[in-house]
Amino acid sequence: MPDLWLPGAERHPLTDTAPTETQYAPRVIWHITWDRNATATKPADLVPFDNLVRYFTSAGRSAAPHLLWDPFTGRTAQFYPANSRSKSVVDVAGGTRTNRTGRVCLQVETLFFPNCRVNGRTYATVRDTPAKGLDKILAWTRSWKVPDTWPMGAPTWSAKRNEHTWRTEGGHYGHSQVPENTHTDPGPMPKWPTSTTAPKPGPPPFPGRDAFGPGRTNASILLLGQQLVRRGYSKHYVVGPSRTWGEADRRNTADFQRAQGWSGSDADGYPGPQTWSRLFNN
């Protein structure tokens, strides 16, 4: 399993964790803290990093992200583990679960506002910053299988929202692209550093419950058995997995399901979409 905490980040764990909706693809939401309003003719000094740490662990904890990132120094602080939702976008009751959509829904608050001043220089967008530490953040998001794509296009200062895209495509989103929200940040972002390793292929699609059970013979049963072996759930196989469903497939699948903490009908040995997702995504 990938690291729940970004390696090297300062940890300030908040205790009100909550699960995400893991049936959706993994994603990242990018923000800027926008602490001050400045202009090109009247720039303002960047707010100290520690001020934001104190804010997100006290008065601003109801809007805390996963990460606070300083693109000028590379310093990062983390408030929630990757498998919890965080709270930096509006999430309307009864609507799209904007803070929860995805196997992970990682949110990054970039310490930045337009025309901030750092060491005497003014920066109009995050794209203009040194973006120190971005490579480490992206290596972490890639470990959670977030693709290096912007499904709604790279952010600008304009809002662009499409709920269907949000629900069906993993990748990186700006706050300006999240349903139910009205913000226009983060504005133009840096180009992603190239990954040093080829991205891992995504999990095979779930073939449906009817693919499994007595009398069934197909490639999905063999694929299931091979993955059970890879994950260490193979003690009931005498020879090994095959294309034909057998009691050993059911018993090995049940062992895996029980290892997830499931019981009763949730651990009956017949794979559903949640079993399939857990088996191939972890």
**Nearest Cα to Cα of residue 213 among 257, 250, 268:** 250
**Topology at the third CATH level for domain 209-281:** Muramoyl-pentapeptide Carboxypeptidase; domain 1 (1.10.101)
- Whether the domain at 10-177 and the domain at 209-281 fall into the same CATH topology: no
pTM of the model: 0.70
Pick the more confident residue, 201 or 106.
Answer: 106
Residue 195 has pLDDT above 50, yes or no: no
pLDDT band at 281 (very low <50, low <70, confident <90, very high): confident
Residue 198 has pLDDT above 60, yes or no: no
* Residue-wise pLDDT tens digits, 147-193: 999 999 999 999 889 998 998 999 999 999 999 999 999 999 998 87
In this prediction, residue 72 carries a pLDDT of: 98
pLDDT band at 197 (very low <50, low <70, confident <90, very high): very low
**Topology at the third CATH level for domain 10-177:** Lysozyme-like (3.40.80)
pLDDT band at 196 (very low <50, low <70, confident <90, very high): very low
pLDDT band at 210 (very low <50, low <70, confident <90, very high): very high
For the chain, the structural domain boundaries read 10-177, 209-281
Pick the more confident residue, 122 or 95.
Answer: 122
pLDDT band at 97 (very low <50, low <70, confident <90, very high): confident
Percentage of the chain with pLDDT > 90? Answer: 85
In this prediction, residue 217 carries a pLDDT of: 95
In this prediction, residue 95 carries a pLDDT of: 83
Residue 5 has pLDDT above 70, yes or no: yes
Residue 8 has pLDDT above 90, yes or no: yes
In this prediction, residue 192 carries a pLDDT of: 82
Average pLDDT, the chain: 93
In this prediction, residue 240 carries a pLDDT of: 87
In this prediction, residue 7 carries a pLDDT of: 96
* Residue-wise pLDDT tens digits, 44-90: 999 999 999 999 999 999 999 999 999 999 999 999 999 999 999 99
